[in-house]
Amino acid sequence: MMTDPGDCSWTPIPEVRLLGRTWYRRGTRYWLRRTGLACFYTLIAVLMFWIDIVLLTSIAASFHGSAWYAAVTIGCCVLAISVIVGFRSLRRSKHDKDMGYPMVINAYSSKGLTKSGRRRAGLFGGSTGGAAAAGSTAAGGLVLLGSVIFVGYAAAIAFSSFQRYLTRAEFEAVRQYGTKKHPKTPTP
Is 69's pLDDT higher than 80?
A: yes
pLDDT in the model for residue 175:
85
pLDDT value at residue 108:
47
SS3 content of the chain, % helix, strand, coil (to 5): 65, 5, 30
On the question of pLDDT at 188 being above 50, the answer is no
Nearest in space to 173 (alpha carbons), one of 1, 63, 21: 21
Indicate the pTM of the whole model.
Answer: 0.71
> What does the mean pLDDT of the chain come to?
78
In sequence order, what are the beta bridge partners of 2?
13
Q: How far is CA 119 from the centre of its chain?
A: 18
Q: Which amino acid is at 144?
A: L
The answer to whether the beta carbons of residues 33 and 18 sit under 8 Å apart is: yes
